[in-house]
């Protein structure tokens, strides 16, 4: 009997996905563990492996189809001895493809001149890259409508319809830009006093972020605790360690991850989440770290961070951040975690309060280190000071526990050699 291949739920938040591309074609033999296709979820692009053996008899959902609901049949696997007639005898309903959101005001721009270093980097979704590569389209000739100008599938399709496909870079640069689409009349009539705008369709990831953060801010009783940490000793140790080897390049954030992990070990009550029947106090110290991507924030996890040294943490974070930006994180690399760090210090932000990442009980917002006047031994001095703000779920962590955690964290940051023991 033919076996239906269903759109899998590759993450707890996934309700639909995009079938990016099939890696097997109709008639191909399939073994258990073979990768059948690539699926784009709200967080990453993942591979879908076969569980059964047989022959791929029919593909029901074509490459590039978006909005395919979980558990929708996407293909049919024939068992040994069956042929295509078995599919006719047992038809399988295919979900109608959900068209991608219409792009609004997405002009095709002239390609930028190549730089001395091989041209500017183009930010595009994996699906957009694949479609453009198959069509011979230079992504530098396409203006992205995604967040931060990222090129998405709809931009590539619009560019192909406009005749940009397969054109070499030189001819694309010579071509005049397509006229900008007029603003949607409905938007103009809805509020005639609203300023002109460009509508950017929400990605699946952006929708999930919006839903989860709205839920967090609406249902979690946040309170906030701030503390100042002097960084001069840490910066000195960092410079000394980085000068000893070219095998690693430690950042201040690596020290912060290590300090958070050790502080959670000392104050395990802060490593917890809320449950209606019981508070979950985690025995493993898994630290999530917010990483900005073109589609929004994602929080890859440094597992067992309390058992890892600074060089190991540094290497893992570089790899996780790169995979996050490329949409290549595996589910176990971003799902879970007991505590989150959000660091905006590299952008010069002095201090801020972050929204808790549910179901976790705490998130630490890290500001920039800056020189400030301080009083030492009754005299005025200058020190490099960093403000950190802990957002706390009051159902899980009381004020005294939050203060105890911050005190342990501050002590580790200001005495960085204790982190090396």
Q: Give me the helices (H) in 139-231, please.
A: 153-161, 169-174, 185-190, 204-219
Quick one: 6 exposed, middle or buried, by C-beta within 10 A (0-12, 13-18, 19+)? Answer: middle
Distance separating alpha carbons of residues 67 and 124, to the nearest angstrom = 19
The one-character DSSP state at 274 is -
Is 117 labeled as catalytic in the residue annotation?
A: no
Strand partners, 301: 288
pLDDT tens string for the chain (421 positions)? 788 899 888 776 678 888 888 999 988 888 888 889 988 876 677 888 888 888 898 999 998 888 888 889 999 988 877 776 667 544 444 444 444 444 443 333 333 333 333 445 677 776 777 778 777 788 777 877 766 577 777 788 788 877 554 433 333 333 344 444 444 444 444 677 789 888 888 877 788 888 889 999 999 999 999 999 999 999 999 999 999 999 999 999 999 999 999 999 999 999 999 999 999 999 999 999 999 988 788 999 999 999 999 999 999 999 999 998 888 888 889 988 999 999 999 999 999 999 999 999 999 999 999 999 999 989 999 999 999 999 999 999 999 999 999 999 999 999 999 998 7
Strands (E), 263-378: 272-273, 280-281, 287-289, 291-293, 296-298, 301-302, 339-343, 362-376
Domains, the chain: 3-89 (2.40.50.100), 102-201 (4.10.320.10), 204-420 (3.30.559.10)
Which has the closest alpha carbon to 362: 405, 312, 409, 413? 405
Which has the closest alpha carbon to 164: 110, 105, 122? 110
List the catalytic residue out of 117, 303, 304, 394. 394
Full-model pTM: 0.62
Answer for the pair 401, 378: CB distance below 8 angstroms, yes or no.
Answer: no
């Amino acid at each position: 009997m033919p076996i239906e291949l269903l759109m899998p739920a590759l993450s707890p938040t996934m309700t639909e996905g995009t079938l990016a591309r099939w890696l097997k074609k109709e008639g191909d033999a399939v073994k258990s563990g073979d990768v059948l296709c690539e699926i784009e979820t709200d967080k990453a692009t993942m591979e879908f492996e076969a569980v059964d053996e047989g022959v791929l008899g029919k593909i029901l959902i074509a490459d590039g189809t978006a909005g395919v609901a979980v558990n929708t049949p996407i293909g049919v696997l024939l068992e040994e001895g069956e042929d295509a007639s078995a599919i006719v005898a047992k038809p399988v309903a295919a979900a109608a493809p959900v068209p991608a959101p219409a792009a609004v005001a997405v002009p095709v721009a002239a390609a930028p001149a190549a730089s001395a270093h091989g041209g500017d980097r183009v930010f595009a979704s994996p699906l957009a890259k694949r479609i453009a590569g198959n069509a011979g389209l230079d992504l530098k000739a396409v203006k992205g409508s995604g967040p931060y100008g990222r090129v998405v599938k709809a931009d590539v399709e619009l560019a192909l319809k406009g005749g940009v496909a397969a054109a070499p870079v030189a001819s694309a640069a010579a071509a005049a830009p397509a006229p900008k689409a007029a603003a949607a009349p409905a938007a103009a009539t809805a509020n005639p006093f609203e300023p002109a705008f460009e509508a950017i369709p929400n990605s699946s990831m952006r929708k999930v972020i919006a839903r989860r953060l709205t839920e967090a801010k609406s249902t979690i009783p946040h309170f906030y605790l701030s503390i100042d940490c002097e960084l001069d000793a840490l910066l000195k140790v960092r410079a000394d360690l980085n000068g000893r080897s070219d095998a690693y390049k430690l950042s201040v954030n690596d020290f912060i991850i290590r300090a958070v992990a050790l502080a959670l070990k000392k104050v395990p009550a802060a490593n917890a989440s809320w449950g209606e029947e019981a508070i979950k106090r985690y025995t493993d110290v898994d630290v999530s770290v917010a990483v900005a991507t073109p589609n929004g924030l994602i929080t890859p996890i440094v597992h067992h961070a309390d058992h890892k040294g600074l060089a190991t943490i540094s290497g893992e974070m570089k790899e996780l951040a790169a995979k996050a930006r490329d949409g290549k994180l595996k589910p176990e690399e971003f799902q879970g975690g007991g505590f989150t760090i959000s660091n905006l210090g590299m952008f010069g932000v002095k201090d801020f309060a972050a929204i808790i990442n549910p179901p976790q009980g705490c998130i630490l917002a890290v500001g920039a280190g800056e020189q400030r006047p301080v009083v030492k031994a009754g005299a005025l001095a200058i020190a490099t000071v960093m403000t950190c703000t802990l957002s706390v779920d009051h159902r899980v962590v009381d004020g005294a526990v939050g203060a105890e955690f911050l005190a342990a964290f501050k002590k580790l940051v200001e005495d960085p050699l204790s982190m090396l023991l």
